[in-house]
Amino acid sequence: MSEGGVAFYTYILQTGWLPIPLQERHPWVIGQEGNLVVQEKEKNQRTITVNHAKFNGKTYTGSIAVDDQANIIEDKEWSSDKKRAIESFIEEHKKAYVSLLKRTSEKRAEIVQ
């Protein structure tokens, strides 16, 4: 579904009678605005996926956990160039990421209620 320039992706499955705590009972939502992509899972677990971070003539991709203000909260064992590229990309687009994280969180809350 798409709203206000943001595309949201998730999956919806009928829960049925299975009393097993399946992952499907806790759907996550992906929000995409242009080339910015975020995911929100249960318990406010948020991830930013960067597909086009450039540094020293190379392009890097990666996903990393963030808080609701797009601050990185996960330490990845990446090369220093990749880490710098991803961090710089997130910082450069921080305002847009914060807005996208908020909208994605709101959409997930709407879906799971």
pLDDT at 46: 96
Q: Are 37 and 70 in contact (CB under 8 A)?
A: no
Give the integer Cα–Cα distance in Å for 83 and 90.
Answer: 11
Model confidence band, residue 19 (pLDDT cutoffs 50, 70, 90): low
pLDDT at 13: 63
| Residue partners of 97: CB distance under 8 A and separation at least 6 | 36, 38, 48, 66, 70, 90
Task: Say what percent of the chain tops pLDDT 70.
Answer: 88
Record the pTM: 0.84
pLDDT at 10: 87
pLDDT tens by residue, 34-69: 999 999 988 889 999 999 888 888 999 999 999 999
Task: Retrieve residue 44's tokens.
Answer: 């406010």
Q: In DSSP terms, which residues pair with 52 in a beta bridge? A: none
Question: What residues does each domain of the chain span?
Answer: 2-8+27-112
